[in-house]
Chain A
Amino acid sequence: MSQDDKPFVDQVRQTLDRHADALDEMTAARLAAARRHALDSRPRRTHWLPVAALSAIAASVLTVALLLNQDVSLPGDDPEALELVAQSEDLELIEELDFYDWLDTTQASS
């Protein structure tokens, strides 16, 4: 704005201010109500980051708790399962049967 225009623009501004101030009560009330209505319709902001962080922490705590309380006792109540566990040496024998066969042959020949 040039300095020449400043007094004119100032006068315009003051005149417009008076004009806006002189707004009738009904219109002013309608504008205020419109403003309130707009603000009330403002969408609530959801803070997803803290929600996600809390969920992750809760999931971790639950996982650790489940792992710590996991039942690792032997299946003592089930005889068949117990027998299978007890027979683990026999399983090794079967797996290395070739070795024992070779050992037996070697000892017999000597």
Chain B
Amino acid sequence: MAIEKRAFRMAEIATGSREDALDLVQDAMLGLVKSYGDRDSADWPPLFYRILQSRIRDWYRRNRVRNRFRVWLGGLRGDDDDERSDALQNLPDNQPGIERQLAGEDAVEQLQVALQELPLRQQQAFLLRAWEGMDVSATAFAMGCSEGSVKTHYSRAVHRLREQLEDHWP
């Protein structure tokens, strides 16, 4: 599978926006070629993910400020936040029953929501380790943090995902 597809899905999970995810992946590709175009292409994946994760963190910071401002404005207007309090609980449940095997889009949707609810660093550590198959060292490089932090983030992410999905996944 092409790396850009996985990268796009990672960015989409992180941002919740298709257009923003496309922009981030495109920007990371250009940044990779601009800064490391003379490197051997075998060195590119960890460098690409390092740039992409950095762009995603920047996007997060910008949007956190924007969201705080919106919440503040919403408070002034008297908006109700209950609608977005628990996205996982609000998913449509077409096939009730704790024993059921979720398949296809339903499983994807449950997983996507659970991943989106993780703190960004846990989400990044989990996706790079579990999906991209990076080892702890490469993940630490891509995330720009220590290997100890990667282990902590990853472990917490797995624990939290299992906790969230255990009722839905076998």
Chain A residues packing against B (C-beta within 8 Å): 1, 5, 8-9, 11-13, 15-23, 27-28, 30-32, 34-35, 37-39, 41-43, 45
With both chains docked as a complex, state the minimum distance between the C-beta of B15 and any C-beta of chain A, in angstroms: 14
Contact flags (1/0) for B1-32 with A, using CB distance below 8 Å? 11011101100000000100010011001101
Contact flags (1/0) for B25-66 with A, using CB distance below 8 Å? 110011011100110000000000000000000000000000
With both chains docked as a complex, state the minimum distance between the C-beta of A40 and any C-beta of chain B, in angstroms: 9
Which 9 pairs between the two chains have the least Cβ-Cβ distance? Answer: A38-B29, A34-B26, A42-B37, A31-B4, A20-B5, A19-B108, A38-B33, A9-B130, A42-B33
Complex CA–CA separation, A18 to B158 (angstroms): 20
Determine whether the beta carbon of A16 is less than 8 Å from that of B111: yes
Number of interface residues of B (CB under 8 A): 33
Interface positions, chain B 132-170, Cβ under 8 Å from A, are 154, 158, 161-162, 169-170
Q: Does B112 contact A (CB under 8 A)?
A: yes
Which residues from B are CB-within-8-Å of A41?
30, 33-34
Pairs A–B under 8 Å by Cβ, sample size 13:
A9-B130, A12-B161, A16-B9, A17-B131, A19-B108, A20-B1, A21-B1, A23-B5, A27-B22, A31-B8, A37-B26, A38-B29, A42-B37
